[in-house]
Structures are given as structure tokens and as C-alpha cells.
Structure 1
Amino acid sequence: MRKTFKWLSVSLLLLLLVSVSYGQSSYKIAKLKYGGGGDWYANKTALPNLIRFCNTQLKMNIYPEEDIVEVGSPDLYSYPFVYLTGHGNVVFTDAEARNLRNYLMAGGFLHIDDNYGLDKFIRREMKKVFPELSFVELPYNHPIYNLKFKFPNGLPKVHEHEGNSPQGFGLIYQGRLVCFYSYECDLGNGWEDQSVYNNPEEVRLQALRMGANLLDYATTAF
């Protein structure tokens, strides 16, 4: 059962007007631009490829191009799903942290994808967003691993960093998963054009399938 996007209630009229400009597409997703000097712009081909896969495999009707949205922008509420990646420092101002918190509380969804080196920074900054919450590792029976595509052993491994197993962490607010954090996995690298990292096609397929589950979860009631 679709949840008719809680985020629509934030600015229903605006989103209805915007949706007309998308033509036959129902909504957009965005990459999150943050401060602190980290490479928020990494994985340039990842989201377009994931969108194409989701539209083909799940008929999700997403606009084919990604948007870029800043953490503190009111435009954040226009997207049911935002993606944050990078290798280094992340800094949210107090105003940005409040905006991101309100977005997630209103029904938005954040996927944080550690591109190696992000961990200590993003954990610190997400504490500004939800001081009362901590990341918890999601069990393999969580719905996010058991939607259209099944992942009985959790996240697929795309790239080796320090030889650790991939882990999927979540922030859960009032019973709802509002943020999924893929660690030691590099999902976004698996979404990139094959020529970027020369990943085997099976690895890319598994990464795209997991990404499709994330998008499906972000737009489905649980």
C-alpha cells in the first residue's frame, strides 16, 4: 500500500505544480550537497543509472535526471528520497541540521552511502540532526532487505576497503526508518557506469537491486 507521501503535506500545492513540469514522471530524487570540504558530488553517474534501473524493473516512474539539493534548502521537501555520499568531512550548520530533521520527521528518507572515509564525520553530524537517536544495525529480516529483491545476508559487497563486511545501519524515528547508512559497501560505486570501476556485471546488478529496494522502501508504507 503506497503511503501517498507524507512529504506532500508539507507543500502540496508546490509539488503538484512541479509535478506537472515533470511530464509523465511522478517525482524526482536528489543528491545532498553539504559543507565541510567533502566530495558530496562523488558518484556522478550513480543516481541516473539507479533511476533507469528502477523505472525499468519496478516501473517507478522517476524523473530520469537527479537534482542537487542543499541540506538547508526548503526545496529538500520536494524529494521523497535524498542521497548523501563522499569520502571526507561533512558539516551541518545548526539550521541545516534542523531542516534535515524536520524533513525526515515529515516523511522524507535519507540514504547515506559511505564512499570510504565518511564514517566518523557523518556519525557526528547526524547526532546534530537526531541527538536522541543512534545508528542501529538492521537485521537481515528487515523489510529493506526483503522487498522486490531479496538479500538474505544483508548488503552486497561492492568494493573492498579494509576487508570488513558490509553493514547497513539505520536511524529509527517513532518506529519508522528515516535514514539508511550503507557502510563498508560502496553501493553507489556499484551504480556507476561500468567503465568507471570495471565492476563485474553481477556486482553491479546486486548493487542496483539493493538501491531499488531502498527507493521502494522510501516510497512505501511500513
Structure 2
Amino acid sequence: MAPLAWSQRRAFVEPNVPYDGRFTFVRLRYTQGYRMAWSADYPAMERNFMAILGDLSVMRVHRKGSNVHVLNDPQLAHYPVAYLTEPGYWYPTDEEALALRNWILKGGFLIVDDFYFERQWAVFEAGMRKVLPEARIEPLKVSHPVFHSFFSIRTLDGMTHPATPAAKAVYLGIHEDNDPAKRLQVVINFNNDIGDYMEWSGEGWYPVNLSNDAYKFATNYVVYGLTH
């Protein structure tokens, strides 16, 4: 049976795990826009990723649970890394944008994934401009520390999704004070979907090298977010 698109799935949210100092995968749930888009690849992706991350590293991780938070949930302050998927359908309210801005400025690291083509980019960019109005969104080079925080990634080519061969994967970022020498605050996977590769990594739907690369990028993002 082929993977179901997120639009065909029911949105089921598991209970959040209690905060106990272990690394918890946090997914952001937006309230405006397509109501289920935030749940793409949930929760299989985070379960698979936490199993791999726990085996690869000495990190204490929640393998059997994860969290979903709306952008203005005060509990988000407990967690330094968060994942936003399908931002081509994301329309943050003023309150949500302010809360996410404050979280980022206090040290939060945001991973943005799974969106394609100019229409979805325009929606994402408008939302991010509400969050960080002065931010510059700039391409990242393979030499950036985020690509070498755990695995040493040698190329940013080759992650084109089989379902969208016309879209070349692009990696972009937002730095603190728009200074590339300072902390990367947001990493953006455009024309890419590492979450999808991780969700189906055990089912054989995608080439092994793409699934492996997805785990490498995701691991580097988390390690960077925890160490910067």
C-alpha cells in the first residue's frame, strides 16, 4: 500500500511527554491555514528519527513520545529545537508570530521543512516576515557549521524528492542580527522533505541513500540547535 498523503489522514495528536530534561522532538502546530498540514509524517517520522538519534549519539532522548505545541504555548520555552512542516499552508496570527519571535530570540532553533515551488514559498515568507520582520533569508553553503555539527556533509546536491523532480532542494537560513558569523536561528529546507524520507525509511519507498541523507541532515540540525 502506497503512503497516504497528509490530506488523506486524520489528525491524531498523542499526549505530550512531560518535561524531564531528555531531548524531546517538538513539532509546531499552527492554527491558521490548512488544518492538517502541520501533521505531515506525524508521528512515525519523529519515532524513527529518535530511534536513530538515540543509537547514534549519547543523547538521552524520548524514543516513544514527542510533543506538539502551538506557537504561543508557554511550554515551548522548555525546548530549544522545534520543527515546522508544510509552511506553504502556514498563516501565523499576530500573537503566534510574536511568541515564536520571542522563542527564537531567546535561543530557540527552528527547522523548516517540506514545501515546494513559488506559491508555497510566498506563503512561508509572508509568515516568517511576521515572525522576524528584519530577517534576511539567505542561501547556506555546504561549509556552514550546521552541516558539520555531527556528520560532515560534503554536498548539498542530490536530495531532490522523487515526487517533485523539477524542484531542486535548496537550503537557506536566518542568522542572529543577519550576521553569518553569529548563531543560525532558522534552517530552511525548500524543495525538500526530509521528514517524508524518515517516516518511510523502513518501508522501502525511497532510495536508501536519500533516507540516510535525511537522517544526517536532521541529526546535524538537532546537534547544532543544542550546541549554539
Paired AA for residue 171 in structure 2: G
Q: 1:40 aligns with which of 34, 38, 41?
A: 38
Q: Percent identity?
A: 25
Is residue 216 of structure 1 aligned with residue 215 of structure 2?
no
Paired AA for residue 41 in structure 1: S
Deviation at 1:71, TM superposition (A): 0.8
Deviation at 1:153, TM superposition (A): 1.3
Name the SS for the 1:49 alignment partner.
helix
The residue aligned with 1:89 is 89
Name the SS for the 1:219 alignment partner.
helix
The residue aligned with 2:54 is 55
Partner Cα separation in structure 2 for residue 209 and residue 185 of structure 1: 14
- State the Cα deviation string for residues 95-128 of structure 1 (Å, max 9, x = none): 1111000000111111000243642211110000
The residue aligned with 1:113 is 113
Q: 1:136 aligns with which of 135, 138, 154?
A: 138
Partner Cα separation in structure 1 for residue 222 and residue 96 of structure 2: 23
Partner Cα separation in structure 1 for residue 158 and residue 59 of structure 2: 22
Which deviates more from structure 2 when the two are superposed, residues 58-67 or residues 120-129? 58-67
- Contact 2:87 2:124 (8 Å CA) reproduced: no
Q: 2:209 aligns with which of 199, 202, 209?
A: 202
After superposition, the Cα gap between the structure-2 partners of 1:53 and 1:209, relative to the gap in structure 1 and judged at 3 Å, is same
Partner Cα separation in structure 2 for residue 156 and residue 67 of structure 1: 31
After superposition, the Cα gap between the structure-2 partners of 1:90 and 1:127, relative to the gap in structure 1 and judged at 3 Å, is same
Name the SS for the 1:214 alignment partner.
helix
Partner Cα separation in structure 1 for residue 142 and residue 175 of structure 2: 16
Paired AA for residue 52 in structure 1: A
Paired AA for residue 79 in structure 1: Y
Q: 2:189 aligns with which of 175, 178, 182?
A: 182
Partner Cα separation in structure 2 for residue 59 and residue 115 of structure 1: 32
Name the SS for the 1:180 alignment partner.
strand
Deviation at 1:149, TM superposition (A): 1.1
Q: TM-score, normalised by structure 1?
A: 0.83
Partner Cα separation in structure 2 for residue 135 and residue 190 of structure 1: 25
Paired AA for residue 36 in structure 1: G
The residue aligned with 2:167 is 164
Deviation at 1:139, TM superposition (A): 1.1
- Contact 1:127 1:134 (8 Å CA) reproduced: no
After superposition, the Cα gap between the structure-2 partners of 1:133 and 1:154, relative to the gap in structure 1 and judged at 3 Å, is same
The residue aligned with 1:100 is 100
- State the Cα deviation string for residues 148-167 of structure 1 (Å, max 9, x = none): 21212126515142523211
Partner Cα separation in structure 2 for residue 94 and residue 73 of structure 1: 14
Paired AA for residue 210 in structure 1: F
Is residue 18 of structure 1 aligned with residue 19 of structure 2?
yes
Partner Cα separation in structure 2 for residue 114 and residue 52 of structure 1: 21
Partner Cα separation in structure 1 for residue 87 and residue 134 of structure 2: 26
- State the Cα deviation string for residues 71-95 of structure 1 (Å, max 9, x = none): 1111111211111112742111111
Is residue 31 of structure 1 aligned with residue 31 of structure 2?
no
Deviation at 1:197, TM superposition (A): 6.9
Instruction: Point out where structure 1 has 5 or more consecutive residues left out of the alignment.
Output: 1-16, 20-24
Q: Which has the higher contact order (CA 8 A, sep 6+)?
A: 1
